[in-house]
Structure 1
Amino acid sequence: MSAESQPQAEGTPAPRHPLDVAIVVVTYKRTKLLRVLLDSFTELKTAPSWIVIVDNASHDDTGEIVESYRERLGKRADGRDRLVYAPQEENTGGAGGFSAGTKIAYDLGAEWLWLMDDDVAVLPEAIERLTPWTDRFKVIQGRRYNYDGSPFYWQFDFNVPLGIPNPVAKDDFSAQDWLPMNTVCFEGGLFHRDVVRQVGLPDPRFFIYWDDTVYGYLTSKVTTPALVNTFILRRTREIKRLDLGTRKLNGTSDMVRFHIMRNRGYMARYFRLHGDYNRFVFGFGTLLTLAKEVIRIVTVDHSFKSGLSALFRGMRGARKIYRDRSWKPMPPLD
């Protein structure tokens, strides 16, 4: 079966109605990339129910650019504009933006919520390719192309005890063209509203990094998330990276490095809540994460002094989060 096929569950008819999906985009001061994404929305063969653009307090011409697409993105059958522009009062990071956007899309009543960053473009047939899978799964991750057109390898298998992705998991799809996963990526993750209701909104306290990983882990507690062998997105931003053959190590910033380590505190809290936390195993996973980031600093980013400082500040922040007795998880939506 090819990557572009649209398999059905045995005995299940094809959906007779267009997918009721709200696209949720988080953007921050990247208007050139945002234009490419908005252009791709106008080329979708099936129009989404809603397009929610969360502007993380860019304070530039983002709002003007979004509004310039309002007419091109059209109206719903009920006469309302398909585009919803949601400027935020402050930058709450990708995590905060997706939390706000998910709440908006949920309150609009969309059956499916499709989350993505602003540095991708959707393929014209993306909704048609995703639709057949919605008969079988309630959390769906499609595939994407790298900036250079090669297939992106996404680490769909998360080692929960260690708290790290399995870097050697093979995305060899079976004859059914899907793989079970226990994590998601907010770069094309598709969620049924029932799952969002049970799990709650993405946790904005992550700010950036691990937020989608943990959200996917939480959804795996109530359903079976699926990585499906069909391409729906392409990346539109080139990233500095080290080619390791079958895998690639991307460059990053000190701000991201800080949150990579700090947010393991939130991860540990959620794992402990669900009985999946062992301090010694998770601690070893933290050391492995630290080692990976040091390698990234040395081989890709070449920011040794500031990079190490960010990592150790993050580790101190993680300990503070883990010891915070007032911490509570995100509540379900009633």
Structure 2
Amino acid sequence: MSAAPFAPESAAIVVVTFNRSHLLSGLLTSIRAMDPQPGRVVIIDNASSDDTTEVVESFREGFGAEIVYRRLETNTGGSGGFSEGARTAYDLGAEWIWLMDDDVEVLPDGLARMGAWAPRFKSIQGRRYDYDGSEFYWQYRIAERMGIPIPFAPSGFGASGFKEMNSGCFEGMFIHRSIVQRIGLPDPRFFIYWDDQMYGWLASRQTTSVIVNEFVLRRTREIRQWDMGIRHMNASSNAYRYYIMRNRAYIKHYYREHGAYSPVLFALGTAATFCKELIRLVFVERTVRGTSNLFRGLRDGGRISRDRSWRPMPALEA
């Protein structure tokens, strides 16, 4: 028996935004031009102080898809925003949830391209163009026991048009509600960083997760980069440096819960992450300032990893 065909109106696009109304406007304009359109667009506003609310309201008339707008009382980070967005879409009955930041645009046939794979897979990642129009390389596989991306996983797709992945990226993750039900919502405790990798890893333990050779998004924000050939290393920030190290503790907790924790290999992954961030500082940002945030993240992560009351995100009721 073949799977049911994909119904575009069963999908909800979930967008998380914070003080970037000009980028959000571009994304909403691209969604309005899509053919087909999703049933809903869920916008989670992380307590923006700009004109985000007014921008959203300006799109309501004649948009096509239903716009569901939630303005949070505090900034919960990307992790909290995607958790709330996935919860909202799930509660509204969406069969497919397409997660994305506000600094992308959707290509006109993006939903049709993703939907073509929906009868075969339940956790799907599309591809995207970078700001300059080049093909963005995303590290779709992780070295599981180390909890870090494999930087040079093969980029070719071959005749199948897809590759199995054990990670995820909230810049375009397309996931079925049945998987969300089993693994629960994205974990808001991450705030930023590693949250989507963990969510994709959890999904890959429930279903065959794939990245497909379909360009569906275009990045609209320029980020300072170090061009390494097949991939780029982006500039970061002090906040990112802190959470990159602190949130290793949450990965450790999840690995322990799922029997995937290896103390030696995970420690090697943490050391490699620390070294990578030092390289990013020197070669991308041309400075050595910011290392204190890495050490602070390690310190706070140590406290989190010793918390015996910690529990993973629960599964959702049907």
TM range (shorter): over 0.9
Residue 173 (1) aligns with residue 163 (2): no
| The one of 38, 59, 70 aligned to 1:69 | 59
Q: Does the Cα contact within 8 Å between 1:96 and 1:205 map onto a contact in 2?
A: yes
1:152-173 per-position Cα deviation (integer Å, ceiling 9, x unaligned):
0000011111111001111211
2:94 is matched with 110
1:270-326 per-position Cα deviation (integer Å, ceiling 9, x unaligned):
011111111111001111110000011111123423x10000001111111110011
Structural mapping, 1:130-209, within 5 Å: 130-209=114-193
Residue 96 (1) aligns with residue 80 (2): yes
Root-mean-square deviation (Å): 1.3
Quote the offset at 1:16 in angstroms. Answer: 6.8
1:79 is matched with none
Cα distance change of structure 1 residues 12 and 304 upon mapping to structure 2, 3 Å threshold: same
Partner Cα distance (1:286, 1:13) in 2: 41
Amino acid at match of 2:203: T
Q: Does the Cα contact within 8 Å between 1:19 and 1:131 map onto a contact in 2?
A: no
Cα distance change of structure 1 residues 51 and 16 upon mapping to structure 2, 3 Å threshold: closer
Give TM-score, length-normalised by structure 2. Answer: 0.97
Partner Cα distance (2:172, 2:3) in 1: 25
Residue 53 (1) aligns with residue 37 (2): no
1:73-100 per-position Cα deviation (integer Å, ceiling 9, x unaligned):
136xxxxxx0001000000000000000
Residue 329 (1) aligns with residue 312 (2): yes
Amino acid at match of 2:271: L
Counterpart of 2:175 in 1: which secondary structure?
strand
Quote the offset at 1:221 in angstroms. Answer: 1.1
Quote the offset at 1:17 in angstroms. Answer: 4.0
Residue 289 (1) aligns with residue 264 (2): no
1:43 is matched with 33
1:223 is matched with 207
Residue 242 (1) aligns with residue 229 (2): no
Partner Cα distance (1:288, 1:115) in 2: 28
Structural mapping, 1:10-21, within 5 Å: 12=2, 15=5, 17-21=7-11
1:31 is matched with 21
1:127 is matched with 111
Give TM-score, length-normalised by structure 1. Answer: 0.93
Q: Does the Cα contact within 8 Å between 1:145 and 1:151 map onto a contact in 2?
A: yes
Partner Cα distance (1:13, 1:176) in 2: 19
Partner Cα distance (1:195, 1:134) in 2: 13
Counterpart of 1:143 in 2: which secondary structure?
strand
Counterpart of 1:233 in 2: which secondary structure?
strand
Amino acid at match of 1:63: T
1:153-212 per-position Cα deviation (integer Å, ceiling 9, x unaligned):
000011111111001111211311000000110001001000000000000000000000
Counterpart of 1:304 in 2: which secondary structure?
coil
Q: Does the Cα contact within 8 Å between 1:112 and 1:192 map onto a contact in 2?
A: yes
Quote the offset at 1:245 in angstroms. Answer: 1.7
Partner Cα distance (1:15, 1:94) in 2: 32
Partner Cα distance (1:197, 1:131) in 2: 20
Quote the offset at 1:19 in angstroms. Answer: 4.9
| The one of 76, 84, 104 aligned to 2:68 | 84
1:123-144 per-position Cα deviation (integer Å, ceiling 9, x unaligned):
0001111112000000000000
Identity of aligned residues (%): 54
Q: Does the Cα contact within 8 Å between 2:136 and 2:231 map onto a contact in 1?
A: no
Q: Does the Cα contact within 8 Å between 2:103 and 2:220 map onto a contact in 1?
A: yes
Quote the offset at 1:36 in angstroms. Answer: 0.7
Which range moves more in the overlay, 247-256 or 91-100?
247-256
1:311 is matched with 294
Amino acid at match of 1:240: R
